[in-house]
Structure 1
Amino acid sequence: MYAAVTVFLFMCWTATATADHHQPCHTPNMTGVISVSEIRSGATHSGDFTYDSVAKKLRLRTSVTAHSHIKNVTKNLDLLIFFEEGVLYDIDAKNQSCEKKTLRSALNTLEIPPKSTFLSKITLGSATVAGEGLVLSVWMGPVPDLKANYIVSVTNGCLPLSSMYFSDTTTNIISLMQIETEIKDPDLLTLPSFCEGEAVEEMPEGTADSFLKLFL
């Protein structure tokens, strides 16, 4: 896995980005499956998501076992994230309870940050056989508040298929699958009545302060 990551980073760093006119595209509304992996520990987690790209709202629900080199841990999440407001709601529908928390980092892994640098276009599969290749645009940039960097690849329709976030201490890979460009159930992005008026919960420094740390 380390070798694959190294090769990918090398390709992106050495790609020729001659077209300075490239501008980050805007992600459409999406429903699908998201998977997050932390390379060094081997931990992975996945679940269903619904994303409103205009209001920047994300509903994420998982009921999957997180696997790692050390142990397997079942971690059920039901989260409603308001990126524009910088808050998330940890929802327990069974007990009709809710915790409101602050996102200390504005990181939104479903969007290309506006100041991203365009690296190149790459083709997965065959570039010469019609219908047998997928063209991706590759972007990169820093995440100063997390002391990390990112590389994200999107389709011509601006679907973010994969992202990599890496720092001196960790490397996270995010993959989106079974994507449909619609919001199938708008109610998922509506705050449940039992969450209304909830006070922000104070959290220890470094806990659940970014999208990535919600998983791992």
Structure 2
Amino acid sequence: MFAAFTLLFMCLSVTGTALADHHQPCQSPSIAGDLSVTNTKKGAYTLVGYVYDSGAKRLRFKVNVNESFNSNTVEDVLMFFEEGVFYDIDTKTQSCKKKSMVQPALNPLQLPSSATFLTKMQLGRASVQEEGLIVNVWQVTAAALKAPYYPSFTMGCLPLSMMYTSDSTTLIISNINVEVEIKDPDRLTLPSFCEGATLEETPEGTTNSFFHFFF
């Protein structure tokens, strides 16, 4: 299944240039849901619940299921994309670690202005109303990554999935159980016990981004 999924996206990346038009990157809505993250080369899987404010560019995610990722995988994170920092939150000990993110920040739920439109595709049955879904597939190149990644969005700019593959890593992210509203906006507010956290120095050779948590 993963091989077929990978082959589909590789075909899109090769043929998409011929189909590309003048689509411009869109603005995602504020949403909440779950992100299913699979690293196929490590046989690792995790499910994180998240809340994303597209206006403030803030993402809070918390690990719900963690299978085969190493013990250093963060559990609860609040990311401030515009400020370029994130907080590793430990509610049990009422403590936080404040760290820098690579810039420009790699946001799994938002298309950067540099994204290149590849193609439009129909998922499901095109001949039957409401049994198909039209999606746009994009390519994003970032200096912090060894290869481009390929996000797909609905026509209404709802993020659906993302695939990244390099010689060492294949990462597939699926957006599921999505709600186009934020029922608990307080989750995007920095906890009071984090306010005094000082910015930690990033070790040489370390890259901090959403994607790198799962490499």
CA contact (8 A) 1:51 1:57 kept: yes
C-alpha distance in 1, partners of 2:179/2:212? 26
SS of 1:148's partner is coil
Instruction: Report the alpha carbon displacement of residue 167 of structure 1 after superposing the two structures with TM.
Output: 2.4
C-alpha distance in 1, partners of 2:27/2:214? 25
**% identical aligned pairs:** 51
Aligned length: 213
1:11-63 Cα deviation digits (max 9, x unpaired)? 34213654632111110000100111112111111111000001100010113
Q: Could you say if the C-alpha distance between residues 74 and 214 of structure 1 is closer, same or farther in structure 2, counting changes exceeding 3 Å?
A: closer
- Residue 204 (1) aligns with residue 188 (2): no
Written as runs of structure 1 = structure 2, the 5 A alignment for 1:77-96 is 77-96=75-94
CA contact (8 A) 1:66 1:73 kept: no
User: What value does the CA root-mean-square deviation take over the aligned residues?
Assistant: 2.0
1:71-110 Cα deviation digits (max 9, x unpaired)? x869561110001111110111111111101112411111
Match of 2:161 in 1: 162
Query: Residue type matched to 1:98 in 2?
Result: C
C-alpha distance in 2, partners of 1:19/1:7? 17
Instruction: Report the alpha carbon displacement of residue 116 of structure 1 after superposing the two structures with TM.
Output: 1.2
TM-score by length of structure 2 reads 0.91
Match of 2:126 in 1: 127
Contiguous gaps of at least 5 residues in structure 2: none
Higher normalized strand content (fraction of residues)? 1
Q: Relative to structure 2, which stretch is displaced further, 97-106 or 199-208?
A: 199-208
Query: Residue type matched to 1:203 in 2?
Result: T
Match of 1:62 in 2: 63
C-alpha distance in 2, partners of 1:173/1:206? 24
C-alpha distance in 2, partners of 1:17/1:191? 45
Query: Residue type matched to 1:90 in 2?
Result: D
Written as runs of structure 1 = structure 2, the 5 A alignment for 1:1-216 is 1-15=2-16, 17-18=18-19, 20-67=21-68, 77-105=75-103, 106-207=105-206, 209-216=208-215
CA contact (8 A) 2:101 2:208 kept: yes
TM-score by length of structure 1 reads 0.90
